[in-house]
Structure 1
Amino acid sequence: MIKAKNIHKFYGNLEVLKGVDLSIKKGEIVAIVGPSGAGKTTLLQILGTLDNPAASKNSTLSINNQNLLELKDKSLSKFRNQHIGFIFQFHQLLPEFTALENVCIPAFIGNSSKNEAEKKAKELLFFLGLSDRIHHKPNELSGGEQQRVAVARALINNPDVIFADEPSGNLDSASAKKLHELFFTLRDKFNQTFVIVTHNEELANMADRKLEMKDGKIIN
């Protein structure tokens, strides 16, 4: 499902990723753990096509057998919109829009009609227990509710894989537990793949597989 080989990344003279190899199966929930500065977020951003690895003839990166390193910017943006969802530590909701409007944005970018996008967004928000919050703006929602809206936004285009960077890092323990359980419910319902960078030991131990990073490499 996801295959990466010999992924390097430099910031100036600093080598942040030092030849990372990994393979992730469809429907798998994988946690990436390790100390701050190990390269976890950089790797996640490259896997999710938000950043580029260092140019190398020996590097490969594919999702669903699509070689992402061969795609130009426009094609890469289209692939990202259709196949990839993102959940961040800070929900990144647009404050001037309602929950429903925030969830619809990726669908609009993908040229869905207003009726089609809103129908799917409402289904997701209902499924996530937010049926009475769809017209509320982010500042009217709790932290856990905001993050569930962000999850709905990540799911709106039925992505094959969801990349999450410290998704529960800004939540209290009860909300974090509910979010962690939600990922597994979603996987079981939609067979989606989750790749999660986390410092949360409970979430990491729940995952199907745990990859530990240190000094720019996966060490297990």
Structure 2
Amino acid sequence: MIEAKNIHKFYGELEVLKGVDLSIKKGEVIAIVGPSGAGKTTLLQILGTLDQPSKSENSELQINSIDLLKLKDKTLSKFRNKHIGFIFQFHQLLPEFNAIENVCIPAFIANKSKKEAEKRAIELLQFLGLSHRLHHKPNELSGGEQQRVAVARALVNNPDVIFADEPSGNLDSTSAENLHKLFFELREKFNQTFVIVTHNQELADMADRKLEMKDGKIIN
């Protein structure tokens, strides 16, 4: 489902990614682990098309057999909106909008109708145990509830893959454990692929595979 070959990333003269290769199957939950500065987040952003790899011979990045390195910006943005969801350490919810409105944003970008977007948003929020929080704004929600709204937002367009960067890093231990279990429930229900950068050893050990990064390379 995801194929990456010879992925490099330079910032000036600093080489952050040094020819990364990886292959991820549909429905896998993959944890990317390693020390700070190993290149985990940079790799995640490139896989998720939020950043571009540095030009290098024989580099390749495909999702669903589509060569993402050959897509122009507008086409790439449409692909990202339709096929990719993101969950970050900090929920990135818009404070002026309630839970339903926050979840609907990617659907509106995809030109879905208000009725269709809100129906899907409510279904997801109810599935995530937030049926009593639909009209609450982020400052009226707990940290765990805010992150579940962010998960619903990532899922609203039924993406093929979810990229998560330290998704439980800002949560207390109970909320983190609940979020980790939720990823696997979502995989079972929707057959989505999860690629998760994490320092949380418990979450990494739950994954189908654990990829360890060091000095810009995957070492296992």
What TM-score does the superposition give when structure 1 sets the normalisation length? 1.00
Aligned equivalent of 1:104 = 104
Hey, what's the Cα distance between the residues in 1 that align with 2:179 and 2:187?
13
Aligned equivalent of 1:130 = 130
> Structure 2 unaligned runs (5+)?
none
> Structure 1 unaligned runs (5+)?
none
- String of CA shifts for 1:22-67, please: whole Å, max 9, x gaps: 0000000000000000000000000000000001231000000000
The letter of the residue matching 2:112 is S
Aligned equivalent of 1:68 = 68
SS at match of 2:37: coil
Residue 199 of structure 1 and its aligned partner are, at CA, apart by 0.0
Alignment of structure 1 residues 192-207 onto 2, 5 Å: 192-207=192-207
Aligned equivalent of 1:146 = 146
Alignment of structure 1 residues 109-188 onto 2, 5 Å: 109-188=109-188
SS at match of 2:112: coil
SS at match of 1:169: coil
Aligned equivalent of 2:47 = 47
Identity of counterpart residues, as a percentage? 84
The letter of the residue matching 2:85 is G
Hey, what's the Cα distance between the residues in 2 that align with 1:12 and 1:54?
11
Aligned equivalent of 1:56 = 56
1:87 aligns with 2:87: yes
Runs of 4 or more consecutive aligned structure 1 residues displaced over 3 Å after TM superposition: none
The letter of the residue matching 2:89 is Q
Hey, what's the Cα distance between the residues in 1 that align with 2:63 and 2:217?
21
Hey, what's the Cα distance between the residues in 2 that align with 1:47 and 1:184?
21
CA RMSD of aligned residues (A): 0.3
The letter of the residue matching 1:166 is E
Hey, what's the Cα distance between the residues in 2 that align with 1:115 and 1:55?
43
- String of CA shifts for 1:73-104, please: whole Å, max 9, x gaps: 00000000000000000000000000100000
The letter of the residue matching 1:45 is Q
Aligned equivalent of 2:213 = 213
The letter of the residue matching 1:105 is I
SS at match of 1:132: helix
SS at match of 2:132: coil
- String of CA shifts for 1:136-183, please: whole Å, max 9, x gaps: 000000000000000000000000000000000000000000000000
SS at match of 2:130: coil
The letter of the residue matching 2:116 is E
SS at match of 2:175: helix
SS at match of 1:81: helix
Hey, what's the Cα distance between the residues in 1 that align with 2:205 and 2:57?
36
Hey, what's the Cα distance between the residues in 2 that align with 1:172 and 1:77?
34
SS at match of 1:147: helix
Hey, what's the Cα distance between the residues in 1 that align with 2:215 and 2:61?
21
Aligned equivalent of 1:28 = 28
Aligned equivalent of 2:37 = 37
